[in-house]
Structure 1
Amino acid sequence: MTGCGGDKPGNGSDTAGGGAVRGSITVFAAASLTESFTAIGRQFEAANPGTKVTFNFTGSSALATQINEGAPADVFAAASPKNMAVVIDAGNGAGTPTTFVRNQLVIAVAKGNPKSITGLAGLTTPGLKVALCADAVPCGAAARTAIDTAGVKVTPVTLEQDVKAAMSKVKLGEVDAALVYRTDARAAASDVDAVEFPESAKAVNDYPIVALKDARNAAGAQAFIAYVLSPDGTRLLTGAGFQAP
């Protein structure tokens, strides 16, 4: 186990393979990582017989609070450096966080874009129902930056605590549009269309990952991070629409 924990990340799946790691690994990860990390978890377990990866997916701000309040976790993957800093500044990180991907916003709309939304200005149309993430979570902070950059006033009918909740509002037809990550729109492509807009380039989120100081499976935490940073992990993440850092 000690040897596995000391390996340098990013050297391919062999870094985390070979059965050197055992036991349960608990990963707290931003909601927007749900599909990608679930797939990475399956691949990691296959490469490391005897391991079990358990995930807690929700908004990064809520995860940071849970960690600082003592929730048992081995790894934290946040959707912004700001939320990661909450954990690091509290002394709960083990080492320096590594940025492993970036993500960009799109406007999620119903299939066929029935409201003919072409950009942020379209979200100001009277009567149009818009969902945003709350400012405290990374997708909300990014949305606020993009909206301010565009110089428009968007009045949401709901503020959600993570990006999946905002996306759900569009899928259920409860709102006409939502600002979500490109990766979430791609994951829901059978239900929604994605409208790109130029101001999103001013609100790209970096995603940092770190092992936690009180990790119950420190070697497993390091091995999981190594797998995320490996070519196999990177290939899966970029295939889902994330950008390389």
Structure 2
Amino acid sequence: MSLPSTGRRAGVAVLSAALLATLAACGSGDDGRDSAGPGTKLTVLAASSLTDVFATAGAAYENEHPGTEVTFSFAGSQELAAQVRQGAPADALVTADTKTMDGLAADTGKPTVIAKNRLVIAVGEGNPEKVESLTDLAGPALKVVLAAPEVPAGRYSGQILEAQRIDVRPVSQEPNVRAVLSKVGLGEADAGLVYRTDAATATGKVDAIDIPDAQNAIAAYPAATLKSSGDSKAAAAFVSWLSTPEAQKILQDAGFQKP
């Protein structure tokens, strides 16, 4: 038995309304777009010597993890440690030495060394003062700037100068290694001790004088999650990623050594 045309039209209208209602319900969240919630945001406290390379690493990580945003806060490792102790909101920490990280054992997960580094003597472009070795840094007319003793770069500098029995009297002691680099690059100092990777970021402003391995110190960079993280799973994923081949290539392309 066939329905009259008016009945067919009514039936079609009811079915269409039902279909539209179903599609509307699906669009409200069943496709995952509206129900997924906001993206993941990570804050990483990192040593100032990682400033340039972590800009590249962060972009690579975000590309691999759509929806994740990584924000870095750079400072001297001792300043980062103070921030952690004061409860600064962050998810992970990367320092330029194991001593600083070890002092935060109560606040972090188990650290993993992700890279190593070495010191060089940074001098003005063209080396106008003809600095050739650590011994030259003791010259009374040479303006030398170092990182402060509580800064990892300053501690490493003190170790190698003391081991060689070289008495250097810096014109200033800076809160992080990038400040040392800046002083030399601006011509406010004749020479300073910085990491090899820092000097590489200032090509055209400073030259780097290598220090023989037997007279040098190795800087280790440990990374760890912070127990105060609001997203411990995401924090752990980022710290683990820093040891992956892709992350290691980024670090080593920037001049860092293998862990």
In 2, distance between residues paired with 1:200 and 1:103?
A: 14
Per-residue deviation, residues 176-221 of structure 1 (Å, max 9, x unmatched): 0010000000111221100011267541111100001011121221
How far is 1:24 from its partner? 0.6
In 2, distance between residues paired with 1:86 and 1:68?
A: 10
TM-score w.r.t. the length of structure 1 is 0.88
* 1:244 and 2:258 matched: yes
In 1, distance between residues paired with 2:197 and 2:214?
A: 13
> Which residue is equivalent to 2:235?
221
> Which residue is equivalent to 2:96?
79
Aligned residue among 40, 54, 76 for 1:23:
40
How far is 1:225 from its partner? 1.2
In 2, distance between residues paired with 1:235 and 1:122?
A: 35
Q: Which runs of 5+ in 1 are unaligned?
A: 1-20
> Which residue is equivalent to 1:8?
none
- Code of the aligned partner of 1:75: A
In 1, distance between residues paired with 2:128 and 2:208?
A: 12
Q: Are the aligned partners of 2:47 and 2:77 in contact in 1 as well (CA < 8 Å)?
A: yes
* 1:128 and 2:142 matched: yes
Q: Are the aligned partners of 1:22 and 1:220 in contact in 2 as well (CA < 8 Å)?
A: no
> Which residue is equivalent to 1:49?
66
* 1:99 and 2:116 matched: no
> How does 1:106-117 map onto structure 2 within 5 Å?
106-117=120-131
- Relative contact order: is structure 1 or structure 2 higher (C-alpha 8 Å, sep ≥ 6)? 1
How far is 1:120 from its partner? 0.8
In 2, distance between residues paired with 1:28 and 1:201?
A: 30
Question: What's the RMSD between the two structures over aligned residues?
Answer: 1.5
> Which residue is equivalent to 1:35?
52
TM-score w.r.t. the length of structure 2 is 0.83
In 1, distance between residues paired with 2:121 and 2:216?
A: 15
How many residue pairs match? The answer is 223
In 2, distance between residues paired with 1:74 and 1:211?
A: 6
- Code of the aligned partner of 1:110: G
> Which residue is equivalent to 1:12?
none
Per-residue deviation, residues 20-59 of structure 1 (Å, max 9, x unmatched): x941100000000111111100111111111111111000
Q: Which runs of 5+ in 2 are unaligned?
A: 1-37
How far is 1:226 from its partner? 2.1
Of the two, which has the highest radius of gyration?
2
